[in-house]
Chains A and B, each alone.
Chain A
Amino acid sequence: MGEEFSILPLELDNVSFEAGGKRLIKDLSHTFETALRTVIIGPNGAGKSLLLRLCHGLIGASAGRIVWHGAGDRDPAPYQGMVFQRPIMLRRSVAANVDYALALRGIRRRQRPVLVDEALVHTGLKRFARQPARLLSFGEQQKLALARVWALKPQILFLDEPTASLDPTATHTVEEIIAAFHAAGTRIVLTTHDLGQARRLADEVLFLHRGRLLEKAPAARFFAKPGNDLAEAFIRGELLWWRRGIDRREKPAGEKAID
């Protein structure tokens, strides 16, 4: 956002993540180029959230490398933002929630009110400024979570199923705010279960299944003709609960999707 340099592209090189003896992300490689909107889809437990957390640095990879190529000597963390599925609200007023995020970024006290105001106006929360954040509705809390990162002006924004528990109206507003982030030059990386949302927002789609990246493609091509049979079944709305060899990428023609 108005900065000359960019920490992007972000490269994941053979990244794995293990917890409790289980490999939850398996040998994942991908480069997040600048200026695209990436939507990560896949069933529950596919590792979508973990992938965002790995990228954002909330957890460390068990193997492989995560490199911010543009960052150089700089710490990439302050240039990133993240919005979680369940908004985490501090027990303070709406304005104070934004203010605290700015304070943690080292923004001076005198400069903060203007930025807080701008973020609240932008997300339509101005009239709630003095209200306790935790008494907002769920949709408004998610807007506040977006307002907080808006104030931080990140270069890349990770969104972990940001509209998973929202009604269509709130989902629409949240998508509008995401579009505004995109228009302002913020790189968007979003996970979702909502295929409609994926179609609306994605420039690029990553399909994850059981910790593996099974397909990555430009959105138009992915939705027209996915190369992977599981991805195809997923976008047809089928339930991916059957067991099959994970490495078997192709199915014989004519075989039913659920075998």
Chain B
Amino acid sequence: MPEFGAAFAEALSLVIRLDRDLAEIVWLSLKVSLAAVFLATVIGMPLGAAVALFHFPGRKAVIVGLNALMGLPPVVVGLIVYLALSRAGPFGVFGLLFTPAALIAAQVLLVVPIIAALTRQVVEDLWAEYSDQLRSFGAGPGRALTALLWDGRFTLLTAVLAGFGRASAEVGAVMIVGGNIDHVTRVMTTAIALEVRKGDLALALGLGVILMVLSLIVNGAAFLIKDTVETRYG
């Protein structure tokens, strides 16, 4: 495959030269995904912890729902956000469609179920372990919530990472709500899809390599943090 080899060489040179278009796309992707994961964490963690700790009618249905939503098809999320943000939709007045804000909104919707569902599992297990002692100290589930999130922090980091993985890798939702507009809403995944269709394998491959390297760096760092801290804190 000589074409593949040439494309790969070209891709590497793009990366090494820090090609401006490439850098812009990577930077936007990172900004959007990090913002989305941050918001999803702020929403998803308390939500998951609350489902873990409080008993209310329909709780089991909520748990099944959250677990099912982890596998929510991105294109469906894209469609929902598209409808919500389009001129005729409920949030149409803000004019957010085809802006980075729309990308963030779609990714938040994709990531919240992941973080909430994993948080629920972590917090529920911790509560099972701690509940006798914490209740003996006079703390019900409500007061214990922050302590449980804090004590589960290293496991919860994995949940956040899973969220980041989902946000940075998906293409369907951002394609629909962002439209892959150059210099505005073009992120790595949509760019790859476009460049492949155009036949510009070099740029597509370069982006692919960067995407994988970023994913490796983030997960590697998280593994190191978790590993050192677990040996230190047990």
- Residues on A lying within 8 angstroms of B by beta carbon are 56, 58, 77-78, 80-82, 84, 88-92, 100-101, 104-105, 132-135, 148, 152
Q: Tell yes or no: B129 within 8 A of A by CB.
A: yes
Q: Do residues A84 and B133 form an inter-chain contact, with CB atoms below 8 A? A: yes
* Nearest opposing residue in chain A for B137, CB measure: A104
Q: Do residues A90 and B147 form an inter-chain contact, with CB atoms below 8 A? A: yes
* Nearest opposing residue in chain B for A84, CB measure: B132
Q: Return chain B residues, CB-CB under 8 Å to A56.
A: 136
Which DSSP category, helix, strand, loop or mixed, fits chain B's interface? Answer: helix
Q: Do residues B138 and A91 form an inter-chain contact, with CB atoms below 8 A? A: no
Select B136's contact among A58, A90, A91, beta carbons within 8 Å: A58
Q: Can you spell out 25 A-B residue pairs with CB atoms less than 8 angstroms apart? A: A56-B136, A58-B132, A58-B135, A58-B136, A77-B138, A80-B136, A81-B136, A88-B130, A89-B234, A90-B130, A90-B151, A91-B151, A91-B152, A100-B137, A104-B134, A104-B137, A104-B138, A104-B139, A105-B137, A132-B232, A132-B234, A133-B234, A135-B233, A135-B234, A148-B137
Shortest beta-carbon distance, B177 to chain A, in Å? 40
Q: Do residues B133 and A134 form an inter-chain contact, with CB atoms below 8 A? A: no
**Within the assembled complex, what's the spacing in Å between the Cα atoms of A81 and B139?**
13
**Within the assembled complex, what's the spacing in Å between the Cα atoms of A152 and B138?**
11
**Within the assembled complex, what's the spacing in Å between the Cα atoms of A140 and B106?**
50
**Within the assembled complex, what's the spacing in Å between the Cα atoms of A82 and B137?**
8
Q: Do residues B129 and A88 form an inter-chain contact, with CB atoms below 8 A? A: yes
Q: Do residues B233 and A91 form an inter-chain contact, with CB atoms below 8 A? A: yes
Contact with A along B130-150 (1 / 0, CB 8 A): 101111111100010001000
- Residues on B lying within 8 angstroms of A by beta carbon are 129-130, 132-139, 143, 147, 151-152, 232-234
**Within the assembled complex, what's the spacing in Å between the Cα atoms of A88 and B233?**
14
Shortest beta-carbon distance, B5 to chain A, in Å? 50
Q: Return chain B residues, CB-CB under 8 Å to A133.
A: 234
Shortest beta-carbon distance, A134 to chain B, in Å? 3
Excluding A100-B137, A105-B138, 6 further A-B contacts by CB distance (< 8 Å) are A82-B136, A91-B151, A92-B151, A104-B134, A132-B233, A152-B137
Q: Return chain A residues, CB-CB under 8 Å to B138.
A: 77-78, 104-105
**Within the assembled complex, what's the spacing in Å between the Cα atoms of A133 and B234?**
8
**Within the assembled complex, what's the spacing in Å between the Cα atoms of A173 and B234?**
24
Select A92's contact among B132, B139, B233, beta carbons within 8 Å: B233
* Nearest opposing residue in chain A for B136, CB measure: A82
**Within the assembled complex, what's the spacing in Å between the Cα atoms of A101 and B135?**
11
Q: Return chain B residues, CB-CB under 8 Å to A100.
A: 137, 147
Q: Return chain A residues, CB-CB under 8 Å to B130.
A: 88, 90
**Within the assembled complex, what's the spacing in Å between the Cα atoms of A111 and B134?**
21
Q: Return chain B residues, CB-CB under 8 Å to A89.
A: 234
**Within the assembled complex, what's the spacing in Å between the Cα atoms of A81 and B138?**
10
* Nearest opposing residue in chain A for B152, CB measure: A91
Q: Return chain A residues, CB-CB under 8 Å to B233.
A: 91-92, 132, 134-135
**Within the assembled complex, what's the spacing in Å between the Cα atoms of A81 and B132?**
11
* Nearest opposing residue in chain B for A93, CB measure: B233
Q: Return chain A residues, CB-CB under 8 Å to B136.
A: 56, 58, 80-82
Q: Return chain A residues, CB-CB under 8 Å to B152.
A: 91
Q: Return chain A residues, CB-CB under 8 Å to B232.
A: 132
**Within the assembled complex, what's the spacing in Å between the Cα atoms of A82 and B133?**
8
* Nearest opposing residue in chain B for A77, CB measure: B138
**Within the assembled complex, what's the spacing in Å between the Cα atoms of A77 and B134?**
12
Of A56, A88, A135, chain B has the most CB atoms within 10 Å of the CB of A88
